[in-house]
Structures are given as C-alpha cells and as structure tokens.
Structure 1
C-alpha cells in the first residue's frame, strides 16, 4: 500500500511539473524586435554576425522571439538619431558608434576612441572600453538604453594610409596631402607636417588621380571597395584609431523580457561578439591580401615612427580631456589600462 501510494504521489508530481513547464513555455510572448545597424550591406562581416545572432535567438525560442536586422537608412533613421530612437523605444536595439556617443553630453568621454594614437587596434580598443565600462553602463541607462550584457562592444577595422608615392619618413609628412574624415586626425596629420583634406571616401579615387590628395586615411575594406589600389600602391599600417560600437537595447523593452529570453540573448550575444572579434582579424588580412594581389606594398611603421605619431597625439588627448572632467577621468582610466 505504501509503495503504491509513493508511486501515485510521484506520478502526480511529474504530471504537475510537466504541466507547469508546458504552461510556462506556452506563455512566453511572441516578440518582433528591430536591430538597427549603420552598415549598408548585409555582406558586411559584422552585420552577418548580427543576422546569425538573430537566427539563433529565433531557433532557441521556437520562432517566438524574432529580431530583424536592418541596414542604414532602411527605416529612414539617421545614425545620429539612433540614441533617441532606441531610448524612446521606437526601435528595440541599435548599434551606437563611438563617433555618435561622443557627441552626447553625458557620454562625451566616449570620444576617447577618436583620440589619435590612443587606441590603434582591436585589443587596445577593447582594453579602453573595459576601463570605462561602468561609466558607460550607468550613463547609457540614464538615457533609456543599455549595452547588451555581459559586453556588447565591438571594433571596426583599422584606419591606415594608402599613398600614391612612397613616404620616406612617417614622422615627417612633408606637406603630403592626406584625405581625412575626423577632426582630431586632421590635427594629428597637421602636427606631423602633413596637409589634411576633408573628403568623402567615394571622392578619393578621382582626387588621387588628379593630385588633389596624395594619400588617403581609411580602412583596408574601404580601399578594396573603392579599388584604390589603382591609384595608390603604398600601404602604411599606421593604425589610426579604429573606433567601435556598442549594441544597446531599450531599457523598458529589455526589463520586460522574460528571464528565459534574457538568458538566450546574453548567451548568443557572447557568441556574436566573439565571432566579430575573430572576423576583425580575418577580414583585415583578407582585404590586405586583395590589395597585395593588386600590386600594393604593405609597409609597417618603425618604432621611432610609432613613437612620433603617439607623441604628436598626446597634446590632442590633453586638450580633449580639459573639455570635461569626465573626459579626464575616462582618459586617465584608459591610459592606466593601456599601460602608457
């Protein structure tokens, strides 16, 4: 009798447990989110990883949680409007580039990723991002959004130089006309004796042909996309700051997610960021290989030249730090973490 009662209790417990699990599963909401990117092509390596991330989330939720990855201007929202759009909940998730967050008053210190020769590659960018992570998380939450946990910062490809002619000494640019697209890079080029010229990368090909500029500062991806190997054969891996981006989610939308969905997002976000890290390395090499196959010569700066560029950058760092006490705090944290 006792044995029969025992099995009866176990059976009832199993039925109840199964009912609870099934009930929980059926009660999970059906959601459709948007993840806004800044890129214009689904073949961009980072966009590809976002699409894979969204696919994995959908698979693990039996199609109940769908995330649509959208390209620049697809929704008619400019990248400068992303913070307001995600903060208000107009979109659920977005890339927030450091070039954009640096223009937000309470996040001005994220402009440290635009400081020339403070960060020069993926690892130094990630080190600097970790150094200011607590500041960023707190201040972004106050604006209505937050980085995906545990970390959602990724880095764009390095910004190097492609020149029509050999550059004998990178420490003395000797009035070489260099296409730039960022103000602080222009200051750096000028302090090294060069002449910065602001220009969209789409205009560089003809400008180099005509001698309007002698060299271009952009990433290897941009050089390949614009076929710049046809007008410049000398590549200098100077490693100007690559900049980066956080993937953020609207606070309320995130807080309203069931714990099951949050767990899936966190786990798949880790996989996505790791894949982006790996693709940074492979994509850069692949693009440089294409340039080499088309006759471009890759040159590595000497230690003396690197020191000259960093020394030229330091006064620019200090000038920027003086603009806001938070800038100084972030810069000091980054310098300490980077070991300068």
Structure 2
C-alpha cells in the first residue's frame, strides 16, 4: 500500500511538472506571437520592385536575395517581389522609394542621377574598362561616397548590381573607330552617352528599350547602345548586322531601401539584409562578366559581325569622348568631380 502511494505521488509530481512546463512554453509562444517575432526576428513585410526581365542575371540575384532573407528569418521578414514592372515603372521607382510608397526597389544608376547627380559617373565613357577595377572602386571609398550621397537624399543602397558593359549595335557598317559613327542615328540610354554619340558625329535618339527592335527594323534608327544581354533578349541580331565591343560604360543598378523604413528595422533584421545583400552583390558581379561573354558569343553565332576594339585603341575612343566628360563636370557636382579624379588617377 505504501509502495503504491509512493508511486502515485511520483507520477502526480511528474505530471504537475510537465503541466507547468507546458503552461510556461504556451505562455512564451503566446508572448512571441503577440510581439510578432520569430527566431528573434520581428515580423515585417518588405515590398521589393524591379523592372528588368525575370531571366536577367540581376533579376535572378534579387529573387534569390528575397528568398534567402525570407527563409533565414523563418518567414518573419517577408520580402515580397514584384518583377518586370508589375508594381512600378522605372520612371516612378525612385520617387516611390524616397517617399516610402515602396520599401525597396531596383533601378539604374542612370535614373538615380536625377536625384544624386554624381551617380551619373557610371555613364561617363571609359571610366571603367574592366570588371575588376569597377568592383574594387564600388567596394571601396568610391562606392562609400555614393552610398553617403544617397542616404543624404533618403535612400540606403543595399547593393550595387552590375549589369555589365554597354556596347554598340548597328545595321549600316562596322564601327572600328569614332569616325565611323558620322551621320548615324543611334538610340541612346542617357544624357552623358548622348554627348559621346554626338562627339563621335552621330545623332542620339531617346526611346525605351522595348521600342528599339522596331526602330532598327524600320530604319528609324541606324543603331543602338545597350548591354549584350539585352541585345540578345531583344533579338537585335535579327535587325542589326554589326556589333562593336568597346566597353565604354559599366552599367550599374542599385537595390535601394527607404532610409526611414531601414532605420526603424531591428538591428538583427538589418544585419540579415546586409549580409544577404553582400553575397548577392558578389554573385551578380561574377555573373555580369560571364553573361557579357556568353551573350556576345551567342550574338556572333546568330550572325552578327563582331568587332572587339583592341585595348591599345581605347585611348583614342576615350579622347574623342571628352565632351561627355566635360558635360559630367558640369552636372555631376563637386562629388562627381572628386570621383572622376579618383578613377582617372587609378
């Protein structure tokens, strides 16, 4: 009898202990749910918009960034991606980021130049002529100065996304020197490149990327400048015979976040976003060179006649593009001039 009572006492004690533990765990879970945290992350939703095609290497990197942040936070930091202009056009993107209409967005440095004039340096011809130098500059003092300038306007740069180098395609003749541009009508991608096109003796024409194919087909323009990734995606090989590889402009896109929103995020969430952005930036930079090489080769295989400007001739192209440098001196402000000195010295 005593043995039975003793056994029951132990069982009841164990049951009460387990019950107390369960009650404690339930209370903790309820407290966690009430505060909206998971694995130490406070619950938040981040809308991320971009305009590039979903199969572009930048898009793939951004999609993976969003997926990794969401998964590593166990769903607490939910990054919702709106690709290919579904939420915002590239023209509306920057203002929406600055006003908090959207938390994050990817847009070109060319378009950010209207907010931070010095950002137009990526359009200045032959500032960067290889991937390594561009990466070193962006990861160093050069990039830091641009990040500070963006924050002063209300946006934090999470990463620089390398699009790759801009080239020239046309359907008239091989462009083996600046003189070969004379008399041509060339679709431009910005004010600074337009100054270079004019300096080469051609006429710049502004139009959206989606309009170029038809314009080349109808001879509205004789040629266009873009990256070879876009040329392949938009089938330039069907309407342009000649491709000149001269790496005149290193095109950059920025993943930017509204600064006020960023400052309200917990440090743990900021650390996660920063870490994943760094890894994504490195991956995109590696892909930029690989994609440039792959797509240029494919365009050649599809019938385009490709001319690669010899490295020793680049100085001639750069000297002929001096009016574009002069234009940036006027529009890039003091920071623009400082950045030009930094890269020119290198």
Short-chain TM bin: 0.7 to 0.9
Q: 8 Å contact 2:117–2:336 — kept in the other structure?
A: yes
Partner residue in 2 for 1:115: 124
Give unmatched runs, 5+ long, in structure 2: 1-20
1:251 aligned to 2:279? Answer: no
Partner deviation per Cα, 1:210-267 (whole Å, 9 max, x = no partner): 5443332222122222322123232210112132122122223223323332222222
Partner deviation per Cα, 1:312-331 (whole Å, 9 max, x = no partner): 22342133213432322222
Partner residue in 1 for 2:154: 144
CA–CA separation in structure 1 for the residues paired with 2:175 and 2:60 = 39
1:69 aligned to 2:77? Answer: no
Evaluate the alpha carbon distance shift between residue 168 and residue 119 of structure 1 in structure 2; reply closer, same or farther with a 3 A threshold: closer
**TM superposition score normalised by structure 1:** 0.81
Report how many residues are paired: 313
What RMSD in Å do the two structures reach over aligned CA positions?
Answer: 2.8
When structure 1 is superposed on structure 2, of 236-245 and 250-259 the one drifting more is: 250-259
Match of 2:322 among 302, 310, 314: 314
1:229 aligned to 2:258? Answer: no
Q: 1:67: how far off?
A: 0.2
1:218 aligned to 2:226? Answer: yes
Partner residue in 2 for 1:9: none
Evaluate the alpha carbon distance shift between residue 214 and residue 81 of structure 1 in structure 2; reply closer, same or farther with a 3 A threshold: closer
CA–CA separation in structure 2 for the residues paired with 1:181 and 1:248 = 21
CA–CA separation in structure 1 for the residues paired with 2:134 and 2:60 = 21
1:81 aligned to 2:83? Answer: no
Partner residue in 2 for 1:60: 72
Evaluate the alpha carbon distance shift between residue 100 and residue 325 of structure 1 in structure 2; reply closer, same or farther with a 3 A threshold: same
Evaluate the alpha carbon distance shift between residue 322 and residue 208 of structure 1 in structure 2; reply closer, same or farther with a 3 A threshold: closer
Partner residue in 2 for 1:181: 189
CA–CA separation in structure 2 for the residues paired with 1:260 and 1:243 = 32
CA–CA separation in structure 1 for the residues paired with 2:306 and 2:243 = 5
**TM superposition score normalised by structure 2:** 0.80
Partner deviation per Cα, 1:257-315 (whole Å, 9 max, x = no partner): 23332222222112211111121122222222321221223221134541121112234
Partner residue in 2 for 1:12: none
Which protein shows a greater Rg?
2
Matches within 5 A, 1:27-66: 28-39=41-52, 41-66=53-78
Q: Secondary structure at the match of 1:241?
A: strand
Evaluate the alpha carbon distance shift between residue 201 and residue 93 of structure 1 in structure 2; reply closer, same or farther with a 3 A threshold: closer
Matches within 5 A, 1:125-204: 125-129=134-138, 130-148=140-158, 152-167=159-174, 169-173=176-180, 174-204=182-212
Partner deviation per Cα, 1:123-161 (whole Å, 9 max, x = no partner): 44434434433332323223222122xxx1122132112
Q: 8 Å contact 1:162–1:216 — kept in the other structure?
A: yes
Q: Secondary structure at the match of 1:278?
A: helix
Q: Secondary structure at the match of 1:99?
A: helix
Evaluate the alpha carbon distance shift between residue 200 and residue 79 of structure 1 in structure 2; reply closer, same or farther with a 3 A threshold: closer
Q: 8 Å contact 1:126–1:153 — kept in the other structure?
A: no
CA–CA separation in structure 2 for the residues paired with 1:190 and 1:322 = 17
Evaluate the alpha carbon distance shift between residue 160 and residue 257 of structure 1 in structure 2; reply closer, same or farther with a 3 A threshold: same
CA–CA separation in structure 1 for the residues paired with 2:223 and 2:188 = 9
CA–CA separation in structure 2 for the residues paired with 1:27 and 1:328 = 45
